[in-house]
Amino acid sequence: MKKCVGKPVPAWDLAHRLPIRRSLGPDIQDFGSTFNINSTFMDVIEPSFLEKQWFITGVALAFLFIGIGPYIYWLTNIRYPDAADALGDFFAVCVSIGFAFIVWKFGRGLFFGLRYRPIRFHRETRKLYAIRARRFFAKPGEGDVIWEAPWTEDSIFCLHRESTSFGTIFHIRHYTVDDHGNVTQVFSIGREWTGNRQVEMALAQWNYWCTYMNDGPNGLPKPMLFHTQNETLRESFLFSMYSFGMRAPVVIRLLMMPLILVFTVMRVFANATCRNPVWPAAIKCISVVAPDDHYAEPRPGTPVGWGATVLAQQRGEYPNDPKTTAQSWTGASDGRLHAATWLDNPTGHAS
């Protein structure tokens, strides 16, 4: 996202802005993006929370590859001294510097940072508060680094599309721009969706957040699950396993088990070096939850995390695939058909 800073908002994103007062599909549904919810605020995840084991493992491998440079030097200067030359030494240094740069660029925040970076939808202040980075030398009450986004029609919320080696992915972004229309801050909200067929899910997720901010939690379906803010070994394993697909066949999971176990170890190790986020005192003061708040979740008895939620669903104690229909929706009843049409003509199919 940093490549957008200092430039205009991408044209495709602007064409696919997300309104806060109109439904963008028939369904209202959460798809595993929620930490907690109450009458005052709702904390949601950002995309890297679900997939960080991939980046952590990549950074760990890059750290190990820094040793390629010294190994080349040992081969050409000690093991085979006749092969030594200035060009080989220069190549060895470049290899180590290259991998060290990767570790520094992508490892910051994954290690010795924050275990998760919540985004708070605050109904009373009509703002989003996003924790972005750990503050190592915070003053009393200062908390971690926070970005704010007003919940108004003027705010730029968009569906972002990007082509990757894993296919086309989508996620919801907020852009802050300066007087010249250039991006000064950008962050993503919730999770990622893969391929055009999952755009329906992205729009249903956006409807979920809009319904909460505009109408409150009354009548809102339960989230797919409440993510834990105190990750256990079992949760780390499930994060790693489900990153290969929630409904992946058993054979695929067995084949991928060595990599899943590596992901689990790396995720646990990274979490051990990090700490939970700290909200500034000013935000804590406006985020006090009333003891009798009927909508405060998760509460005692509510499952938290992948493992507990799946078991509760099997026992019939937690709804499976909870969703509701947007009352103000007057468009096509087929959410997937509407999403496909909206991608091609986003300005003409909001209701």
Long-range contacts (CB closer than 8 Å, 24 or more residues apart) made by 93-96: 93/69, 94/69, 95/65, 95/68, 95/69, 96/66, 96/67, 96/68, 96/69, 96/70
159 contact partners, CB below 8 Å, separation of at least 6 = 13, 16, 18, 170, 171, 172, 173, 199, 202, 203, 206
pLDDT digits (tens, 9 = 90+) for 229-272: 999 999 999 999 998 887 788 898 899 999 999 999 999 999 99
DSSP 148: E
Helix or strand holding residue 88 (H, E): helix 86-107
pTM beyond cutoff 0.75? yes
**What is the token pair recorded at 263?**
């992901």
Tell me the C-alpha distance between 317 and 104, whole Å.
45
Query: What average pLDDT values come out for the chain (351 residues) when binned by 10 residues?
Result: 88 95 92 96 95 90 89 79 74 89 85 94 97 92 96 96 87 95 95 92 96 94 95 94 84 92 94 95 95 94 94 94 88 84 76 52
For CA atoms 134, 138, 141, 142, give the dihedral sign.
negative
DSSP 222: P
Question: Is there a contact between 267 and 239 (Cβ–Cβ < 8 Å)?
Answer: yes
Helix or strand holding residue 309 (H, E): helix 306-314
Please report the pLDDT score of residue 348 as a whole number: 61
**What is the token pair recorded at 290?**
């009333």
pLDDT digits (tens, 9 = 90+) for 119-130: 999 999 999 999
